[in-house]
Amino acid sequence: MKEENLRVFLSSIVKYFAHTSDPSVNVGAPYLVDEIKDACKDYTGLISISGDYNGVCYFSAPAVLLRHLILSVGETDTSESMMLDAVGEVANTLSGNARKELGKGFEISAPHITKGLPTMETEGEGNRIYAIPIQWKSYKAMLGISLH
């Protein structure tokens, strides 16, 4: 994966949070981790990438961020099922928006959503993950991308 491809994901994060009640989101410098568990919060929505690219894109967030995010779009149901739904929808939106630059060969799956550590692994050795720290309000989330 080329580092310049990361820019489109950074733009997607800013665009996503611009549509919430608090558009000020801080996106940190990406860094490399070996495994998803190294950059993972309470809930994770993971998208499998296929086509011209292979890999994963995931959004991982603490429960409190998801509750606040759900409330910020006017929804009052902050049950666990809704938090799982929300983390999957954010992952879907951030990865789907990346097609603007990566093209139609960047094919995304429906989200795999988990509480705790995702069971899906990135394929093959040497496929490290770019972890992009996100701070929205006082909460810290993570966008992970591994493409090859």
Interface residues with other proteins (CB under 8 A) are: 15-16, 18-19, 70, 73-75, 77, 81-82, 85-86, 88-89, 92-100, 103-104, 108-110
Q: Least distance (Å) from other proteins to the CB of residue 65?
A: 14
Q: Least distance (Å) from other proteins to the CB of residue 99?
A: 4
Using DSSP's 3-state secondary structure scheme, residue 132 falls into strand
Which is closer to other proteins, CB of 93 or CB of 146?
93
Q: Per DSSP, what are the bridge partners of residue 29? A: none
Separation of CA 108 from chain center: 13
To the nearest 10 degrees (0 to 180), the angle between helices 80-97 and 6-18 is: 130
Residue 143's closest CA among 82, 135, 67? 135
Q: Least distance (Å) from other proteins to the CB of residue 29?
A: 24
Which is closer to other proteins, CB of 19 or CB of 37?
19
Q: How far apart are CA 146 and CA 79, in angstroms?
A: 30
Which is closer to other proteins, CB of 16 or CB of 43?
16
